[in-house]
Every structure is written in structure tokens, then in C-alpha cells.
Amino acid sequence: MSSSYGQNLRFTIFGQSHSPAIGVTVEGLPPGERVDLEALAAFMARRAPGGKAYSTARRERDLPEILCGLKGGVTCGAPLSAIIRNTDTRSGDYAPLASTPRPGHADYTAAEKYGGAQDPAGGGHFSGRLTAPLCIVGGICLQLLRREGIEVMARILSIAGESDLSPFDRPVDPEGFPVLSAEAGERMQRAIAEAKAVGDSVGGIVECVVLGAPAGLGDPMFQGMENRLAAAVFAIPAVKGVEFGAGFAVSGMHGSENNDPFELREGRVVTRSNNCGGILGGITTGMPIVMRAAFKPTPSIAREQDTVDLETMQPARIQVGGRHDPCVVPRAVPCVEAAAAVAVYDALLEQKKYRR
């Protein structure tokens, strides 16, 4: 089992790329909370494909249908289930893939895992399309967190080595390319276009901060905030690394440099720097939580690649058809927010149990 997450807010994501529907079933949402469906749709539109030069031509209005869990738009304590119908699917595109696994995809590993019973069409349950239900539950959590004074925001930090080093002090424009520096965004989009032009793809890094989280969230050892966030973020296809605060750079630092001294600011205990990314011992400090996730270049590229024919057990060549983003990073930005939101909200519910 695997497609479930959370201890207090617990959800299961279901569906395959070309099954009748995909969706999510959620338990543990507090009763009496209004779900703003328009805001949810706007959030999901940031992830949706179509209409942009840098993303796939597959167009779907990925609007969820809420099957249950609400009464008059307000959570009623019962599980919430929401689905998205798969309408614009062309399974034929994927037919030849069944026996010749695409490099960089889960075709081969799923075939080995499920003994050939897996659904290969469009990547099946391993499709990036399954991040849509993650955005449903994450989008709801973002609304609940905001009511507690907690904001989650992510941006592109780099694509193909082109970086946006602007201070992360405001959310990105939800309608535009999700960077803070327009100039950096242009460099990134140019790199994407260049890769696309030669039938290739590029990767990048998404940075996410959580503002307003109180000190004390997260739990020691296996449910620290780093563990919780990493366990959520690695659910997004293509993520190959996660780091917090100064991240991998801590490996080259001295303790006197890396330690964040405590000080008082307006009567509150804060840290002067935030190399720890707002997390010490797995528990939040009250400073911004800072996380970065590394995304690999889209494995579906137009160029012909080497593979193996699993039926004949002979070398083979494959040219991946279908429609694919030359870079998943822009669309991954709201997905990282969604993953962070479910992790933080689950930790928040955990902490509420022990309030006096």
C-alpha cells in the first residue's frame, strides 16, 4: 500500500491516467469548515496543462466533482471524496509501450512489481496526472491553514541551471510563469524552448516556504517535519532530492557558521539566521519552513532512445509519442505547495490533540 498519506488527516489517491476517473478520498477534515470551490479551482488551474508554451497540449478542465463530505459546501465530518473524470485520453498512443519500457519512466519497474498486471496506458497510476488529486486535498488544506494564519508558497528556483535568486518574500503570480524575477523567468523559458526544439527536456528546483507555522509542529524521529515533508514531496513524480534550510550546503559549513543563534524580536524568540530551515530536532522553530525539491528533466523526450523488448528480450529502440511537457517544473510548483500543505496540516492536527 502506498497511495495513502497522513496520520490525522488521512487520504488515498486513486486512479490511472486512462481509467474512467482519478480522485482522492480524505478522512479527518475538521467538521464545520467551508471549502471554497472557486479558490480550489483557481489553485488547480495553476497545475492544469494546456495553453502554455512550456506545457503539454493535453487539455482538460481538471475540476473536481465532490461526491460527499460536504453539506452545503461545509465539511460535515464524514470522509470527503472527489473525482476528476478522464475525458481526453488517447490510449492508442501508449500501446507499443507495454513491452518496451520508456527510459526514466516506471514502465519497467511497475511491470516487475505487478507481474505484468499493471495498467501501462499513460503511465497508469504512476502518471504525473495523479498530482491533480494531490492538489485537491492540498488545495483544501491550504484553505484550512490560511484560517490558522499559515501560508504556503512555492516558486521555481532554477531550471536547466538558470536561477532566480530573488528573495522569496511574496507569492508568485498565479497566472504567470511561477518565478519572482521576470528576467530569470525569461531565461528559464528560453532554456525550456531550446530543449524542446531539439526533442529534449530539462529539470529544475522548486523552493517552498511555509510562513506563520507556530513553533512546536512535528514530532521526534520518524515524524519530524523533515520526514513528513519529504514523505509527501517524494510522491510527486520526478523528485530526486529534498533539502531543508541550508540543505546540502551544511556539509561544507562549520558549526559556528551553521548554528542559528536565538534572539528576541518584538518579544518573540526567533533565530538570527535560518540555516535550519525552520526545523530543529524535527520540530518547527516558528521561523519560515524552507524546503527545496530537485526535479529531473521530463523522461518523455522526442528523441529515439535505447530500451529492451521485454517480450523478445532483445535490444530495441523507442520513440515516445503522446504529449509531454519539456519541463515539469512550472506545473510542479502548486504540487509542491499541495504536498507541503498536507504535511503541515497533518502535523498541526497532531499537535492539537495535546492542547490544554
Residue 203 near residue 292, CB atoms below 8 Å: no
Q: What length is written for the chain? A: 356
Q: Does 65 bind its own copies (CB under 8 A)?
A: yes
Q: How far is CA 202 from CA 81, 119, 159, 242, 327, in A?
A: 35, 27, 7, 18, 5
Let me know if 234 is exposed, middle or buried by CB neighbors in 10 A (0-12, 13-18, 19+). Answer: middle
Residue 27 near residue 10, CB atoms below 8 Å: yes
Q: Is 154 helix (H, G, I), strand (E, B) or coil?
A: strand
Q: Does 68 bind its own copies (CB under 8 A)?
A: yes
| Footprint on residues 117-136 left by its own copies (CB under 8 A) | 117-119, 123-126, 130
Partners of 210 in the beta sheet? 152, 289
Shortest Cβ distance from residue 131 to its own copies (Å)? Answer: 10
On the CB side of 25, how many CA atoms lie within 13 Å of its CA? Answer: 8
Per the structure block, which three cell numbers stand in for 107? 514502465
> One symbol per residue from 73 to 112: x for binding its own copies (CB under 8 A), - otherwise; what is it?
-xxxxxxxx-x-----------------x-xxxx-xxx-x
Q: Does 350 bind its own copies (CB under 8 A)?
A: yes
Among 42, 53, 67, 197, contact with its own copies (rule: CB under 8 A): 67
Nearer to its own copies, 51 or 315 (CB): 315
> One symbol per residue from 180 to 199: x for binding its own copies (CB under 8 A), - otherwise; what is it?
---------------x---x
Nearer to its own copies, 112 or 173 (CB): 112
Shortest Cβ distance from residue 148 to its own copies (Å)? Answer: 12
| Footprint on residues 276-335 left by its own copies (CB under 8 A) | 276-277, 279-286, 294-301, 303, 305-308, 310, 313-315
Q: Which stretch binds its own copies (CB under 8 A): 39-47, 61-69, 139-147, 182-190?
A: 61-69
Among 16, 89, 189, 274, contact with its own copies (rule: CB under 8 A): 16
> One symbol per residue from 137 to 166: x for binding its own copies (CB under 8 A), - otherwise; what is it?
---------------------xxxx-----
| Footprint on residues 21-40 left by its own copies (CB under 8 A) | 21-23, 25, 27-28, 30-32
Count other C-beta atoms under 10 Å from residue 209's C-beta.
24
145-178: string of b/e by CB count within 10 Å (b at 16+)? beeeebbbbbbbbbbbebbbeeebeebbeeeebb
Among 246, 336, 338, 344, contact with its own copies (rule: CB under 8 A): 246
Shortest Cβ distance from residue 153 to its own copies (Å)? Answer: 20
Residue 129 near residue 21, CB atoms below 8 Å: no
Q: Is 37 helix (H, G, I), strand (E, B) or coil?
A: helix
Among 53, 57, 59, 71, contact with its own copies (rule: CB under 8 A): 71
Q: 151-159 and 162-163: which strand pairing?
A: antiparallel
> One symbol per residue from 212 to 241: x for binding its own copies (CB under 8 A), - otherwise; what is it?
--xxxxxxxxxxx-xx--xxx-xx-x-xxx
